[in-house]
Structure 1
Amino acid sequence: MADLALDLSPNAQTAIADALNQSVAETAVTTMMAQNFHWNVEGMAFGPLHELFQTIYEDHFTAQDDLAERIKAIDMHAEGTLAGMINRSKVVEAEGAFDASEMLQHLLKAQMTLAKTLRGAAAIAEEHGDLLTQDLAIERGREHEKFAWMLRAHLKSA
C-alpha cells in the first residue's frame, strides 16, 4: 500500500490520473449543464428547480477543483481545457431549449454517469493502494447518487 501519493508507481500514477481526469471532465460538462438549466428553467417548478440546479453546479464546481488537486498531489497533469474535457467526457452537452422534465432527465443521466465513473476511479485507486484517492472518489460518487435521487424525486411529480 502506498503511504504517500508520490510513493505510487508511475503506472499507478498514470492510471489514477486518467481516471480522475475522466471524472473532472464529466464533472465540468455537468457543471455547465446544471448552470445552463438554472438560467433557463421555467414553469410551475421554477423556484425549487432553479435552486436545485444552482446547488448542483456550485457543488460540482468545487468538486472539479478537489479532483484536479488530487491529480496534482500525485504529481500528474490535470486537464484544464474545455475542449479537452468535452472530448473526454461521457456526459454529452445538452444543446437546445428544454422543458423542466427534460432538464431533469438530462441531469439525472449525467449524475448516474458520474457516479459510475467515480466508482471506477475508486476501484483503480484501490487496486494501486491509493486510499486517499479511493476515499475522494467514493465520496464524490455518493454525492452524485444523492443528486440523482433528488432529480428522480422531481421527475415523479413532473
Structure 2
Amino acid sequence: MGKNFIGLDTEKTAKLADALNELLSNYQIFYMNVRGYHWNIKGDNFFELHVKFEELYDDLLLKIDEIAERILTLGHRPAHAYSTYMEKSEIPERKDVTDGKEAMENIVESFGKIISRQRELLNMADEADDEGTNALMSDYISEQEKTVWMYRSYLGQ
C-alpha cells in the first residue's frame, strides 16, 4: 500500500480524486444553470432573484476552484472540459428558464444532488484519513443545508 506525497494511500486518493471530479462536474453544470437564471429571470421578483442568483453563482465559482485545487493537492488532475462535465454530471443542463419559481425549484433539486455526493465523499475521505477533503465537504454541507432551507422557505415548502 503506497503513500502519496502528502502521506495518503495512493489507491484511496485516486478514488477520491475521481469522486471529486464527478462533484466538480456537477458544480460546473450547476454554476452555468444559475448564470442562465441570473441572466434570463423575468417577473415580479426580478430584482430580488437577480441578486440572489449572482450571490449563488459567485459562491459556486469559489467552490469549483477549491474542489479543483483539492484534486491537485491529492496529486491528480481536475476535469477541465465542458464535454467531461456534461458526461459526468447528474445535474441536467437547464436552458431558457425565465420563471423564478422554476429556477428556485431547480436550484433546490441541484443542491440535493450536490449534498448527497458530498456526503459520499465525507465517507470516502474518512476511510482514506483525508482530513482536508473531509473538512471541505463538511463545511459545504452545513452551509448548503441552511441555503436549501431558506430557498425552500421562499418556495413555501
Does TM, normalized by the shorter one, top 0.5?
yes
- TM-score, normalised with respect to structure 1: 0.91
Q: Would the alpha carbon gap of residues 46 and 87 (structure 1) be closer, same or farther in structure 2, given more than 3 Å must change?
A: same
1: CA distance between counterparts of 2:86 and 2:17? Answer: 17
Map Cα deviations across residues 88-135 of structure 1 (whole Å, 9 max, x no partner): 011111123341111111111001111111111111001110011101
The equivalent residue for 1:51 is 51
Name the aligned partner's letter for residue 60 of structure 1: L
The equivalent residue for 1:99 is 99
2: CA distance between counterparts of 1:60 and 1:31? Answer: 6
Shift of 1:146: 2.5
Q: Gaps spanning 5+ residues in structure 2: where?
A: none
Name the aligned partner's letter for residue 67 of structure 2: L
Q: Would the alpha carbon gap of residues 44 and 71 (structure 1) be closer, same or farther in structure 2, given more than 3 Å must change?
A: same
The equivalent residue for 1:21 is 21
Q: Would the alpha carbon gap of residues 5 and 138 (structure 1) be closer, same or farther in structure 2, given more than 3 Å must change?
A: farther
Q: Gaps spanning 5+ residues in structure 1: where?
A: none
Structure 1 residue 84 corresponds to structure 2 residue 78: no
8 Å contact kept, 1:16–1:124: yes
Q: Which runs of 4+ in 1 moved over 6 A?
A: none
Structure 1 residue 40 corresponds to structure 2 residue 40: yes
- TM-score, normalised with respect to structure 2: 0.92
8 Å contact kept, 1:29–1:93: yes
How many residues matched?
155
